[in-house]
Amino acid sequence: MQQVLMALVPGTLAMTWFFGWGVLVNVLLGVLFAVAFEAAMVAARKRPVMATLADNSAIVTGWLFALAIPPLAPFWVTLIGIAFAIIVAKHLYGGLGYNPFNPAMVGYVVVLVSFPREMALWPAPSTLPESPLTLLQTLQTVLTGSLPGAQAWDAVTRATPLDAMREGLVSGRTVGEITASPLFGSFTETGWEWVGNFFLLGGLYLLFRRIIHWHIPVAVILGVAIPAGFFWLLDPDSFASPAFHVFSGAVIIGAFFIATDPVSASTTPLGRILYGAGIGVLIFVIRTWGGYPDAVAFAVLLMNMVAPTLDHLTRPRIFGRTRGGPPPGDDRA
Amino acid sequence: MNPTLTDIIRDGLWNNNPGLVQLLGLCPLLAISGTMVNAIGLGIATTLTLLLSNVLVSLIRRHARPEIRIPVYVLIIASIVTAIELAMNAWFHGLFLILGIFIPLIVTNCAIIGRAEAFASRNSVPRAALDGLMMGLGFTGVLIALGALREVLGQGTLMDNAHLLFGEWGHAMTIQIYPSEHGFLLALLPPGAFMAMGLLIAAKNWIDQHTATEPEPAADESRAEASETT
């Protein structure tokens, strides 16, 4: 888990660079709340507290949750989301290793469904001319839920690229017109693609250190890119390009850090590929025809439900036996 | 076989509660518990139906042939529900519009036919009446608990729309606990109903575990019978 935390650092720093201090404040709050709830729940279940906290899984959950929510979201959003993630999604199911769903994503979906207004407070990337909030102003915003001074939310926040694309397409404009706006860089909005690149860096580090296997990230990205490419080739005016889909929103961080959660993901090689591809296709489908602009959390949770079945159906052949042969210990073969 | 009156009361309200233990009638329970007033309205209607159907079924228990007893019970329950529906339409029209299809659907509430079959068809009229009343109150209690929980979490109020049930002075009964724009929307949505229900059942089991001193009444027959009729 320490390696995962290290791998999250470059992407988090990139997000802080583009979206302001709120990212760091949220990560700090998220980790703090997650460790506190974890300790409380472990103590309530009469397990050794320090030994359990030492696995650092609560820190990863809190950190991933904090990266998923908007940097200017008020603190109680983090509190409620983390409470759900740690108490309901993790410990009511038996704690680390027993949770069928990814805790960070359960927490995120709970706040996403419950607080649509607060979950839309994405600040403009700092490459834009508006003056970004200072550290103190950010703290004040996160703790009180209102902006300092006479600033208006509309001046500070703006639609994410996925929001912009969705709104644009709904109001009848073509993809070309939407991406012609100066906010868009080569693939997607300028800030977002760099954040994606830095998470990619952390993900490659995890691959290199063999913390995660290549199956899930590759399958997720191809699962998004292939259907996106197919529809883009059919009608490039009403479907965004595969590069836009891969580098927008949470696909990169989802592919490398969220979908690869060893507890809730599939564990056989073929199962991992199917699991990742399912997440990728669901992301594309929900983004394109669903009710929410981004869909990584929904896709991960839906595939979490399927993971045990995938594991069951894709059990590899036992060495030295034929597929469907007698189980080990049976010497009739 | 012959439970005492205290047993009947305790079974209905707690030990064999239709909502928390038998898990009967979950559809209206989950769908209508969005606010406390809706919950009370449906709870009263269900309690009345249970009471009347138990009395009527108990009255005819020696005359209804066993081969056709279920259709007869359903006919009785349907007539009672129709009467209650018309009464609510006349006197609580606003509430009637909100509860909508769930009033006629009381007919299909397994808790009611379950009590008719498991209890009223083999007990005397006063005992059946007491059982119907207690089961109804137990169901209403769960409805109200669930409704209060979801209403407070979801929109920050208690007893919103109380005027639909209590007339004009009901406006004064609405309690605003925190500003509604920060409502926890999930609690009002269907998944929130399931989660809150799960938490209530967990709380009941927890209380039972921590107060378990006296042994359970031997061979809880009505529970076994009720589960057969679901």
The CA distance from A322 to A332, in Å, is: 13
Q: What is the model's pLDDT at position B193?
A: 87
B185:A113 CB<8 A = yes
Measured between beta carbons, which residues in chain A are less than 8 angstroms from residue B196?
none
Q: Is the pTM of this model over 0.90?
A: no
Q: Which of A111, A114, A117 is the best residue to mutate to test the B interface, defined by the most B CB atoms within 10 Å of its own CB?
A: A114
A114:B195 CB<8 A = no
The alpha-carbon gap from B35 to the nearest alpha carbon of chain A, in Å, equals: 17
The CA distance from A237 to A234, in Å, is: 9
pLDDT band at A167 (very low <50, low <70, confident <90, very high): confident
- pLDDT above 90 (res A129): no
Instruction: Give the chain B residue whose CA is nearest to the CA of A114.
Output: B185
B189:A113 CB<8 A = yes
SS3 A98: coil
SS3 A6: helix
What ranges do the domains of chain B cover?
8-212
Give the residue-averaged pLDDT of A40-67: 89
- pLDDT above 90 (res A193): no
CB burial class (10 A; 0-12, 13-18, 19+) of residue B105?
middle
Of A114, A108, A128, nearest to A67 by C-alpha is: A108
Q: What is the model's pLDDT at position A165?
A: 78
Contacts 24+ apart (CB under 8 A), A88-95: A88/B195, A90/A38, A90/A41, A90/A61, A91/A41, A91/A42, A91/A45, A95/A41, A95/A42, A95/A45, A95/A47, A95/A52
The CA distance from B191 to A79, in Å, is: 20
Task: Report how many Cβ contacts below 8 Å link chain A to chain B.
Answer: 16
B184:A80 CB<8 A = yes
The alpha-carbon gap from A317 to the nearest alpha carbon of chain B, in Å, equals: 40
Give the residue-averaged pLDDT of A88-108: 90
Per this entry, what is the length of chain A?
Answer: 333
CA angle A215, A219, A225 (to 5 degrees): 155
The alpha-carbon gap from B8 to the nearest alpha carbon of chain A, in Å, equals: 34
Print pLDDT tens along chain B (230 aa). Answer: 577 888 888 888 888 888 888 888 788 888 888 888 888 888 999 999 999 999 999 998 888 888 888 899 999 999 999 999 999 889 888 888 888 888 888 888 888 888 888 888 888 889 999 999 999 999 999 999 998 888 888 887 777 777 777 777 777 777 777 776 667 878 888 888 888 888 899 888 888 888 876 555 444 444 444 444 44
pLDDT band at A130 (very low <50, low <70, confident <90, very high): low
Sign of CA dihedral A2, A7, A10, A15: negative
**From the CB of residue B176, how many other CB atoms can be counted at a distance below 10 Å?**
11
The alpha-carbon gap from B183 to the nearest alpha carbon of chain A, in Å, equals: 8
CB burial class (10 A; 0-12, 13-18, 19+) of residue A38?
buried
